[in-house]
A and B are shown apart, each in its own frame.
Chain A
Amino acid sequence: MTEAFQSVGKSVIRKDAWEKATGQALYTADLSAEDLTFGAILRSPHHHARILNLDVTAARKVPGVKAVITSDDIPGEKVFGPLVQDQPSLASDVVRHLGEPVALVIASTRIAAEKARERILVSYQELEAVFDPVEAAQPDAPQLHTDGNIVSELHVGDGDITVGFQEADVVVEGTYNLPRISPGYMEPETSLAIWHEDGTITVWVSSQHPFTDQAVIAAALDMPVDQVRVKSAVIGGAFGGKEDSSLSILAALGAWKIRGAVKLVNNRRESFLAHPKRHPARIHYKLGARKDGTLTALQAEAYLDTGAYASYGPAVAMITTETMTGSYHIPHVKVDSYVVYTNSPLSGAMRGFGSPQSHFAVESTLDILAERIGLTPIEIRERNILQPGDQLYTKVVMNESALALPECLQKGREIMNEFRAAETTPGKLSGVGIALAAQSMGLGANVPDDSSHRLEWAPDGSVLIYLGAPDMGQGLAAAAEQITAEALGIPYERVYSLPLDTLETPNGNVTCASRMTYMAGNALLDASSSLIQSLLNEAGRLLDQPPDQLKYRDGMVIKPDGVEVPAVEFISRLAEESITLTAESTFSFPYPEETTPQHLPIGMPHVLYCFGAQVARVEVDPDLGTVEVTHFASIHDVGKVINRAGVEGQIEGGVATGLGYALYESMALKGDAWVDSFTEYLLPTAVDLPENYRSVILEVPEASGPYGAKGIGEIPLVPTAPAVANALYDALQVRIYDLPITPEKVMGLDK
């Protein structure tokens, strides 16, 4: 069935782009308030220490200071955390990482707050620190929390790996080390909180989960949730790192304490030290195959370093575990994964959420195996890719999404040949590599995942979306507007998303997990149907006609005699009667009972997957070890393109982040200090990206998706690093097991 879409599938201009281009868009740090005060956070200078004494008396006396707040001042919950409530808003007896918040100063100017911060006296007793997750998992390691250092562990398998490895003609094993990565959003964390005379509080946030912020702020302040209003300012990027309420809790605490308005702005160093990072991981990966290339067994063990607090660690480990088999069918599998505390800055949600780590292991190992067997990288993948109907080792049955895989490989093969034919710069060696990716959508089985959104038909005929989940810059609003416009048959230009305000907006849940277009889109399709039905009901009343005799199409109510009346005429009439047409709908991520295995912990399994492939061509300087990515192609199945420019933009940005993972980025401990600035934490710049880049977008429709759409937010950075590593091997026969690929490692001179 071919449909001519009016809006969906096209490149549309995001409505908020204009104000961003003129500098008028208001991010949280741009906001002001009457009698605004400023906060400065005193942070731990130690990796691990007991707080013996905390004396704020001198600080309180600094001119301009309104309050100095410590853990003792928090009226409600002193700890929070999405999965484990282990993260103190302000440290009380122990600090567990460098940069952990210890006290909060509120003053009339930022300078006064910073001056007062210098006057806070803290005496610490330094404790032994541990930074390696395998070390930290040992019984004799320094214990960070009362229940030990292992936050969670998973042991998942299928079949019998002893049998599987016996059936294998070739077995390859290796250990992969993945670094700590900063989400690197350009807008550091900020929050502005205002206490009102009526005892309510408004908190402006740059956050992926304003409703969660609302709940944890209320808990910290020991207030009813409906007394806390959270508003979303324009968000300057998030990538997972802004699924953390720590700064908004502190801003709210400050406002509550002084009964006024407080703005907190993290600088880049604070952002590095105190907001969630991608989990560093050590993955031991052992893969067996027959000599014809069919995979027989996988045994993998992963240690994820979740840092000082758990954040989303256990959930990240679930995705790492589930994606350990990548896009392939492997009959005998055993995966053990551990999430371990260390005295590092906390690891939490970050775009990819455990899948980039596992995929580096899967996709690198496949190439190693292919070479041992005498197959090409394409051939070994072709032999093993999932097909619809295959059962993953989690016992999830793969659906039609897998149809994208052969197409990914076919296009991949063509592009690899094309890239190989390119002329190599004299003095360099060139190589081409490919990697596939499987990314799950959704939060996982048995995790409540409802997303509510509301539509309102305005008197002028435009439609307002109370979008329940924030657009963090990725373009959710435009996609929601397109889907709604398509469903209502009205122009995209007439549909507007409103900024999120917990007072007005239904709870759309957190923007993450490659699912919000899917969730919001489905909810809005349903709400659009309801809205049309309400319109027809009211039109029927006004026309004195039975509503079931009326039809609706493209903004018109069609009477039984065929005459079309613009819907806006009815809506403006209703407005005169003080009737507003609205429709709210909640979409729950589907985990059909028949097809969702129940034997795994809450949060597993994921049942909906999207697939992709990326091809990299590198040129290597064989004497210096420098690697340049000259050509790059991404091939991604999105089910159905909603905003073409938006999908392309997500892919292009994801690839850039993936290249950073491959070649430049690592937040490592150097001596006693973390890499904590863009001087040493190297994000790719405009001259670092491949000059020859192309995007191939596939559309294998997802039956449950709005117009067939799936997610695209995370997968574009998943296969990038292994594609580059495989290309490097093709060029130089050097296999890198530890990211990032650096010239030092390429030359074997990194120690």
Chain B
Amino acid sequence: MLEFDYYRPKSLPELKENLSQPGALMLAGGTDIIPKMRKHKFKPTILVDTSGIPDLEFIEDQKEEVVIGSLTTHQQIARSPLIASVNPALQKAAESIGCIQTRCRGTLGGNLANASPAADTIPPLLIYDASLLIQSLEGERTIPLESFLLGPGKTSLEKGEFIHSVSFPRLKDRWGAEFIKVGKRTGMAISVVNAAAAVLLDQKGRISDARIALGSVGSVVIRCRETEGFLSGKNPDREVYAEAGRQVREEIRPISDVRSTVDYRLHSASVVVSRALEAAVEMAERRNE
């Protein structure tokens, strides 16, 4: 294990100050950073341990939107009744991450900052047009999650910046959202492909708004806006879902790697999108009853 100076700030101002120092890396749950440090993929000279900061662990209902503190753990998100009712896709995704031991430590902010294209929390946040509040010693800024993700392991975080919280607006009226993950094993599964879909239905039961996000099919999680456009105004039925499934293939760029092949990812992306749409529509339709 590398050597580093260890800081343990007890407040947000202290955290900002610590992170502003050159070579500083923020440590949240550690489930991604510690293995990477062992392999020398991250070589911080200063490790800033956030476990002494309570301010960033929260899930807040702010009427029009929900705000999640960046140090909230996946387990807390998975168990939150608020998240289950407002963004069931996120709840399902958080529950599917790793195993109980890693969920009790891994944080939402850590998952986003790690920016793996396979990260399970990202698709459900993207379909809700989530944005991040980024802070630093210099101030703060808000950025849509979609713009925040730049590539595998790459985000728009600048030196000294950290994710304070993630927020997303509630979906209104007749809405539904679903998350589906395909892994190579049921337990402790890293996604081969994952998808989140949300739909809003108008009074005639047609799709007024559809959102689709696919992970592990490109260098970042992808919002499939062209397919979303196709879905707008359509009467929901199996044909439409299947066609959407076909169309997303044009919007993604999967690769072959140790886990899967291009062809399988293209195919399974189609399948999970079509299924996620169907499930989202069913949920939306049930809201009338």
Contacts and interface: CB of A to CB of B under 8 A. Distances in A.
Given A624-B182, A675-B258, A749 B188 contact: no
B187 A688 contact: yes
Interface residues of A, number: 23
A147 B216 CA distance: 47
B10 interface: no
Contacts of B267: 747, 749
A744 B182 CA distance: 11
Given A624-B271, A670-B258, A751 B182 contact: no
B260 interface: yes
Contact of B182 (A626, A675, A686): A626
Nearest to B38: A267
B51 interface: no
B186 A749 contact: no
B258 A685 contact: no
B263 interface: yes
A686 B187 contact: yes
A186 interface: no
B268 interface: yes
B156 interface: no
A56 B123 CA distance: 51
A743 interface: yes
Instruction: State the main secondary structure of chain B at its contact with A.
Output: loop
Interface string A602-645: 00000000000000000000011110100000000000000000
B187 A687 contact: yes
Contact of A743 (B182, B186, B188, B190): B182
Contacts of B186: 628, 685, 687-688
Contact of A749 (B185, B257, B263): B263
A624 B184 contact: no
B268 A624 contact: yes
A679 B187 contact: no
A131 interface: no
Contacts of A751: 261, 263
Contact of A664 (B99, B185, B190, B268): B185
A688 B187 CA distance: 6
Given A624-B182, A743-B268, A685 B263 contact: no
A687 B96 CA distance: 12
A233 to B, nearest CB: 26
A624 B183 CA distance: 11
B264 interface: yes
B27 to A, nearest CB: 20
Contacts of B182: 624, 626, 743
Contacts of B190: 679
B176 to A, nearest CB: 19
A672 to B, nearest CB: 12
A623 B269 CA distance: 11
B261 A750 contact: yes
Contacts of B185: 664, 682, 684-685, 688
A30 interface: no
Nearest to B256: A751
Contacts of A749: 261, 263-264, 267
B187 A623 contact: no
Interface in B249-289: 257-261, 263-264, 267-268, 271-272
A247 B259 CA distance: 32
Given A624-B271, A675-B258, A680-B258, A742 B263 contact: no
Interface string B76-101: 00000000000000000000000100
Contacts of B259: 680
A747 B258 contact: no
A687 B189 CA distance: 11
A744 B271 contact: no
A685 B184 contact: no
Contacts of B263: 744, 749, 751
A626 B268 CA distance: 10
Interface string B225-265: 00000000000000000000000000000000111110110
Interface string A718-751: 0000000000000000000000001110010111
Contacts of B258: 670, 675, 680
Interface centre among A680, A744, A751 (most CB of B within 10 A): A744
Interface string A146-159: 00000000000000
- List of 3 A-B pairs having minimum Cβ-Cβ separation, nearest first: A685-B187, A749-B264, A749-B263
Interface of B: 99, 182, 184-188, 190, 192, 257-261, 263-264, 267-268, 271-272
6 contacts: A624-B271, A675-B258, A743-B184, A749-B264, A750-B264, A751-B261
